[in-house]
Amino acid sequence: MRVIIVDTPEEVARTAARRVARAIDRARLVRAVGDRGRAATAHGHADAPTAVLGVATGSSPLGTYRELGRLARAGEVDLSGVAAFALDEYVSLDAAHPESYHAVIRRTVTEELGLDPGLVQVPDGTAADLEAACERYERAIAEAGGVDLQILGIGTNGHIGFNEPDDHFSKGTHCVDLTESTIQANSRLFDSIDDVPRQAYTMGTQTIMYARMILVVANGEAKAQAVHDMCYGPVTPACPASILQLHTNCVVVADEAALSLCE
C-alpha cells in the first residue's frame, strides 16, 4: 500500500485524477492486445470497453471526478469506451430518487466524465430476486474483463463500499444491513433519518480486491481514525478497509487532516 499525503482536498482531487488518467491510458493499451480485451469480446461485447473503472459514491471522490472530467475536456485523457461499475446501491430505493446511487452516479460520474450511459452499471436495488441480481452484477463485471481501477472512499467506521465492520470479510456482491453509524452519516443526504434505507447491495470485499489497481481518496479529520486503521492497523474485518494492505497495487491519496493520526 502506498500512501500519498497532500495538503488540501483540492490537491487530493488533482493527484488522484492524474493517477486515474494514467491507469486508464495503461488499461487501454493492455486491453488492446491482452486477455482482458479478448475476454470481454468473447462474451459478445462487440465494443469491448477500453478500460473499466469501479466507482464509489460519497463526497470523497467528487473532486476527483470533477478534475478527471476537466482533464477529458482538455484532451488530456481519452475516456471514450470507458465502462464503470458502481460499488453499491441502496435496497428498495427507486432509481429516480435523487439520492439513489443510480442518480448519484449519473450526475457525478456518467455526466461529469461524459461516459456512454450504456457502459455504466449500478446494482439493481429494486430487483425482486436479490441473489440473482447480485450474481448478474458479478457476471457483468467478469464479462467486461474485470475492473482495471477501483476508486474508493472510506466510511468513518472503516467500511468500503457498504462492507461494514464484521467478524469475516465478504466475498461477492451481496445484500447488507447498514450499521447505525452509516445510517447516521448518510442521513445528511435525506430529509430525515427515517428516509435512509436500512439495507444496501455492495460489491463484496473480494470483488473489490480483484481490481487490478485500487485508489482510495480521503479528506478531513473525521476520517483520521479509519485511515490510520486502514493503513497501519491489523488486517481485520473489524476494519474492512484494512484488507487493502494486502492488495499488490493500492494507493491512498489523503490530505493532512485525514492522515493526522498516522506518524
| Angle of helix 9-33 versus helix 62-73 axis, rounded to 10 | 60
**93 to 14, 86, 110, 137, 261: CA distances (angstroms):** 33, 15, 20, 18, 36
Considering only residues 83 through 102, tell me which ones interact with ligand GLP, judged by CB under 6 A. 87-88
User: Pick the catalytic residue: 67, 157, 163, 219?
Assistant: 157
| C-beta atoms surrounding 191 within 10 Å | 9
User: Pick the catalytic residue: 67, 88, 138, 255?
Assistant: 88
Query: Least distance (Å) from ligand GLP to the CB of residue 77?
Result: 23
Name the residue type at position 187. Answer: S
Name the residue type at position 92. Answer: S
**Side-chain half-sphere exposure of 93, counting CA atoms within 13 A:** 23
Site membership for ligand GLP, residue 57 (CB under 6 A): yes
Name the residue type at position 188. Answer: R
164 is catalytic: yes
Site membership for ligand GLP, residue 64 (CB under 6 A): no
Site membership for ligand GLP, residue 204 (CB under 6 A): no
159 is catalytic: yes
Site membership for ligand GLP, residue 9 (CB under 6 A): no
| Part of the chain binding ligand GLP (CB under 6 A), chosen from 72-80, 105-113, 153-161, 203-211 | 153-161
Q: Which of 7, 29, 59, 184 binds ligand GLP (CB under 6 A)?
A: 59
Percent helix / strand / coil, the chain, rounded to 5: 45, 15, 40
- Is-contact 4 254, C-beta < 8 A? yes
Site membership for ligand GLP, residue 58 (CB under 6 A): yes
25 is catalytic: no
- Is-contact 147 105, C-beta < 8 A? no
Taken in order 30, 36, 39, 44, the sign of the CA dihedral is: negative
143 is catalytic: no
Site membership for ligand GLP, residue 155 (CB under 6 A): yes
Site membership for ligand GLP, residue 60 (CB under 6 A): yes
Query: Least distance (Å) from ligand GLP to the CB of residue 223?
Result: 7
The residue (of 88 and 124) whose beta carbon lies closer to ligand GLP is 88
**Three-point CA angle 56, 88, 81, nearest 5°:** 60
Catalytic residue numbers read: 88, 157, 159, 164
Binding site for ligand GLP (CB under 6 A): 56-60, 87-88, 153-155, 161-162, 182, 186
